[in-house]
Amino acid sequence: MNQLKKMGGKLIILSAPSGSGKSTIINYLLKEGAPLTFSISATSRLPRGNEQDGVEYYFLSPETFRERIRKGDFIEYEEVYPNKFYGTLKSEVEANLRKGKNVILDVDVAGGLNLKKLYSDNALLLFIQPPSIEELKRRLETRGVDSPEMIADRVSKARYELSLAPQYDKVIVNDDIEKAKQETLNTIINFISCL
């Protein structure tokens, strides 16, 4: 099924272990005016810091999230931790693709692989990789938003996610954020320029 060709846009999928710099890179791409429209994901987790509903995520209760799964509202979703769902709403992606826009998604690693199967060559799958597990742990600790237990869970999950990186179209190692931003931008521009 080649939905993107029918709809006119291309899908850019960024995945990474938590703390790898993915959100920083996406914000850079959007600020630089890359021809991308950000697709807001849904989550059942609570907002962090200054996050706002409908801006960073659509914040749904676990019950509402499950109901929307039953209705078939997601093109992909994952229960990342118990009662902590993340997913991509069909309506978010399809409305933009129908307008011929290139859509960028921030999804977990399993969700990214599922989307690549669905959209095939019309999707670019990018994995943002930390330079090491130790550096990832340091970044998570410095961020100061997670408990030591949550950091341990995130590091454990990151080990698994890193094992899936070879299945991505391109792995970008974020050992220098400026270099990683530029490499990501160049890769995306090359991809969306190809007919």
Rg of the chain over Cα atoms, rounded to whole angstroms, equals 16
Residue written as token pair 């060559």: 121
Query: Domains in the chain: how many in total?
Result: 1
pLDDT score of 182: 96
Find residue 104's DSSP bridge partners. Answer: 12, 38
Give the residue among 104, 38, 41, 46 at the shortest CA–CA distance from 75. Answer: 41
pLDDT at 148: 87
Report the DSSP beta bridge partners of residue 42: 58, 87
Domain containing 46 — which CATH number?
3.40.50.300
Domain containing 127 equals: 3-193
> What is the model's pTM?
0.83
Q: Which residues is 87 bridged to in the sheet?
A: 42, 77
Instruction: Provide the residue-wise pLDDT of the chain in tens; the chain has 195 residues.
Output: 333 344 479 999 999 988 888 989 999 999 998 999 999 999 999 998 889 999 889 999 999 999 999 999 999 998 877 899 999 999 989 889 889 999 999 888 888 998 999 999 899 999 999 998 898 888 888 887 778 888 888 888 899 999 999 999 999 999 999 999 999 999 999 999 875
